Amino acid sequence: MLKDLNIVIGITGGIAAYKACGILSYLKSEGANVDVIMTKNACEFITPLTLETLSGNKVITDMFERPDYTSVKHISLARKADLFLIVPATANIIGKVANGIADDMLSTTIMATKAPVIFAPAMNNGMYENPIVQNNLEKLRSYGYKIIEPVIGHLACGCEAKGKLASNETIIEFLKNEMVVKKYEYKRI
């Protein structure tokens, strides 16, 4: 089902960033082509080298790097993608996209794409319960973005509460379902 699909994984600066590696490996094993965009803050948690090795593609972190003068990377990736998965999604990227901010490679590419974008939030429960974050999530839903709800579990702050990244299995299942919907919609056009 995932074979030959172009999937862009966006990784943001949360403690669950390392979990993106397992998801990426699974997608690759299923035959998907995976490009990775990391925020600068994500690079504090895991290295682009790890993601480059797992994906077999150069990881993009910098909006203004120009190794390829024949394409504008955020536009070419936005067009090429069949699907975007933002994992983990910080309160920050949720807030930025919900409010039309495009100030780095990831938020700009999300702004430019017409592909489905799925956010998998993970954060401290205080952040997650903040009405601003909840409002931003609602806003994203209203624009057609998909949210994979975090779960109750042991958080990095030491408490047991809602904010833990959904399991890899849940995220992959969600993504597969999304591809089925997308195929169906394409057929209708």
Ligand X SMILES: Cc1cc2nc3c(=O)[nH]c(=O)nc-3n(C[C@H](O)[C@H](O)[C@H](O)COP(=O)(O)O)c2cc1C
Q: Which residues bind ligand X (CB under 6 A)?
A: 12-16, 39, 41-42, 90-93, 122-123, 127
Cβ atoms of 75 and 165 closer than 8 Å: no
Pick the closer one to ligand X by CB: 24 or 127: 127
Question: Based on CB atoms, which residue is closest to ligand X, 62 or 185?
Answer: 62
As measured in angstroms, the least distance from the Cβ of 12 to ligand X is 4
Residue of 21, 43, 157, 159 with catalytic role: 157
Q: Is 159 a catalytic residue?
A: no
**How far apart are CB 142 and ligand X at their closest, in Å?**
21
Shortest Å, Cβ 55 to ligand X: 18
For ligand X, the closer of residues 13 and 116 by Cβ is: 13
55 Cβ partners below 8 Å, 6+ apart?
A: 9, 24, 28, 34, 35, 36
18-54 burial, b for 16+ CB within 10 Å, e for fewer? ebbbebbebbbeeebbbbbbbbebbbebbebeebeeb
Active-site residue set: 157
